[in-house]
A and B are shown apart, each in its own frame.
Chain A
Amino acid sequence: MSLDATVHLLPALVDLPFREGYVRSIVYVSLYVSGIAVLLSTLFSIPVAIVMGFTDFPGKQVVKAIINTGMGFPSVVVGLLVLFIVSNQGPLGPLELIFTKEAMIISQFVLATPPITAISLAAITGVSDNVREAARALGGTRLDTALVVIKEARYGIATAILAGFGRAISEVGSVLIVGGNITSAGGVSKTRTLTTAIQLEARQGQYDTAMVLGGVLLTLVLTVNAIVVRFGDAGSMNR
């Protein structure tokens, strides 16, 4: 279909050349892979940011520099490294993860962790020393003080998680390399995500399909952002 067809996009929506369940399966794979990867990244990143925000240790600046460098790490390189690790000859070869969602989760974990850690750390260290001192002065223990700081940094931490999710779900290079962009014989996605599907459709000249999938991706990202922002607003008075 030519690019002109996009002008008639709305009527085309009811008659797109999608097989039954195709789009749904792609959305599911995208959300599943990015969601799990960001969940694991968050569970790893927040404690790391807290430890780095509250303690001084030799080499802290080096660790910070590595995390910041990680934010700009090219995703195709991450994909390539994960491919080596999960390939038959790699250390995780026996687990047969290559071209699976799990391999995609690993690569997205690697990509999402640096922004979540770095932005959370910036939020935590950005909390005024006066607030820490106030918590101590009011009789707080070290743990109480840490909890106050995390609470004060909560919007920054939420932004960090969103940034991680944004990087994961909009990422193409690494999931293409380690996932393979595979569908089953019935046309249902196995490792095809919205981004890899868009890339494939555009390459095949299916611009209207690619744009619809792009619209779905945008809607997903906006919805997740809106939920987090709304959640933050609702909680702002009841803390």
Chain B
Amino acid sequence: MIRLSNVSHAYGGEPIVDDLTLSADPGEVVAIIGPSGVGKTTVLRILALFTQPSSGRVELDGQPAWAADEAERLALRRHVGMVFQEASLFDASVARNVEYGLRVRQPWSDRLREGLWSIAGSNGTPGAVREALDVVGMGDKVDQSARSLSGGEAQRVSFARALAYDPSYLLLDEPTSDLDPRNTGVIEEAIREARDRDIGVVVATHDMHQAERIADRVAVLLGDGFTEVGPAETMFESPTDDRTRKFISGELVY
């Protein structure tokens, strides 16, 4: 389980989020919904162990992340995959991009040997890379340059890149906000596939319909905290918190 307990974070003296508690189990999709600029990305960055919160606990499979030293934290971080709003692919082939997470987990001796082999010719594409690309329907673009992809294709490759090394948890920051309906559908299907693989998924989105389609549980981030966290099917039907209800019905405009 990936878990935040009573987490607060401030930046430059300004509180961004306050007293957040949230968890995601393996094989569960949790959506964080809220308007733009409310701090959803900050919550994901804290979950990804990128940002140390000002106070509170971040645990990964029961291990407090910020009590660990840097090497231990790196080991914990390697159980987590993150997909950003922008695809941020490296200027390399699709295969080299998706391989990256696998490569950095290898010992240097293997990486150097493979590097030398790749000068002599192609090493072939690892099975995990092909598999991850197949999940997002990009299996036929293995050798294409990442620079030549459309925005939707790039985001799909970005998703495959995080999936390839089989993380325990996947964090997605508005993964479909710039995509057309077809690419959005592919990503949402890939999220379901990740859940079927027993990966815990936390997705930040401002698209309530998307949260309704893919999430098991929903956390509503309004102001500086969660107004409500609960099962998706009841959240949208009968929210208990008044601000959540107003936000879902569109009355609460930010």
Contact = CB atoms under 8 A, between A and B. Distances in A.
Interface in A121-135: 128, 130-131, 133-135
Interface of B: 48, 50, 74, 77-78, 81-82, 84, 86, 88-93, 96, 100-101, 104-105, 118, 143, 145, 158, 161-162, 165
Interface stretch (A9-17, A85-93, A136-144, A205-213): A136-144
B174 to A, nearest CB: 14
Nearest to B79: A139
A140 B78 CA distance: 8
B161 A138 contact: yes
Contact of A134 (B77, B78, B90): B90
A133 B100 CA distance: 13
A133 B77 CA distance: 13
Given A128-B88, A130-B88, A133-B84, A138 B104 contact: yes
Interface in A143-175: 144, 148, 151-152
Contacts of B77: 136, 139
A8 interface: no
A129 to B, nearest CB: 9
Nearest to A130: B88
A62 interface: no
Contacts of B50: 133, 136-137
Given A130-B84, A130-B86, A141-B74, A135 B93 contact: no
Interface stretch (A24-32, A109-117, A216-224, A231-239): A231-239
A138 B145 contact: no
B88 A134 contact: yes
Contacts of B88: 128, 130-131, 133-134
Given A238-B118, A239-B93, A138 B86 contact: no
B104 A144 contact: yes
Contacts of B158: 134
A136 B74 CA distance: 9
Contacts of B165: 138-139
Contacts of B161: 134, 138
A137 to B, nearest CB: 4
Given A130-B84, A139-B77, A139-B101, A148 B90 contact: yes
Contact of B93 (A133, A141, A152, A237): A237
Contacts of B91: 151-152, 236, 239
Nearest to B82: A137
**Most chain A CB atoms below 10 A, which of B50, B82, B104, B118:** B104
A141 B104 CA distance: 8
Contacts of A140: 100, 104
30 contacts: A131-B90, A133-B50, A133-B84, A133-B88, A134-B84, A134-B89, A134-B158, A135-B104, A136-B77, A137-B48, A137-B82, A137-B162, A138-B81, A138-B104, A139-B74, A139-B77, A139-B78, A139-B105, A140-B104, A141-B104, A148-B90, A151-B90, A151-B91, A151-B92, A152-B90, A152-B91, A236-B145, A237-B145, A238-B118, A239-B96
Counting from the closest, the 5 A-B pairs by CB-CB distance are A130-B88, A137-B82, A138-B101, A139-B78, A134-B88
B195 to A, nearest CB: 20
Contacts of B101: 138-139
Contacts of B92: 151, 239
A227 to B, nearest CB: 18
B100 A135 contact: yes
Contact of B162 (A136, A138, A237): A138
A239 B90 CA distance: 10
B114 to A, nearest CB: 13
Contacts of B100: 135, 138, 140
Nearest to A144: B104
Nearest to A145: B104
B162 to A, nearest CB: 7
Nearest to A137: B82
Contacts of A236: 91, 145
Nearest to A139: B78
Contacts of A237: 93, 143, 145
Tell which of A128, A134, A140, A239 has the most Cβ of chain B within 10 Å.
A134
B254 to A, nearest CB: 25
Contacts of A139: 74, 77-78, 101, 104-105, 165
A133 B162 CA distance: 13
The interface centre, meaning the residue of B81, B100, B145 with most chain A CB atoms within 10 A of its CB, is: B100
Interface in A26-40: none
